[in-house]
Structure 1
Amino acid sequence: MSKQLLHLVLGGELKELGGTEFRDTNAVDIVGIFPNYASAYTAWKSAALRTVDNAHMRYFIVHLHRLMDPGTDKEDHHE
């Protein structure tokens, strides 16, 4: 059984193309928390495809496990 590596998927409209600052933090879409990168990627891709017509919309995958336990970097082999 593989180790749980939590990932958060969230997104919203950015202030500037190419940036990472949200226009309205109250409108950030929290897609969910996922137990591994593969399931987070699937959720990220679905959310990103739903908003493809808005160039300012962007979704991110946040590696929560890296924040909780920095030593897990070596165990996340997806990249």
Structure 2
Amino acid sequence: MQEEGGMDKEVKKYFRKILYSISWSLILLIAALTFGLYYKLALIGKNPILYNILFYSFFLIGLVALVYYLIKTWKNGGR
């Protein structure tokens, strides 16, 4: 059954899941690269400082949240 737009609802829902999954993954990757390499928070000198620890903590929290979102989206059918 097609909608007025010419696409089936299930196909549209599937493409939306793909788009959201790729988008959120790229946002996390770009944020990690920007803050990690451009602002040099991922580079640990002789001793790790508070900024390095905070950067890696936020990155791990973001990664866990992304994995949870992806599992939830693809397991239950998501949005």
TM-score of the aligned structures, taking structure 1 as reference length: 0.36
Q: Which has the larger radius of gyration?
A: 2
Greater relative CO (CA pairs within 8 A, separation 6+): 1
More helix by share: 2
More strand by share: 1
TM-score of the aligned structures, taking structure 2 as reference length: 0.36
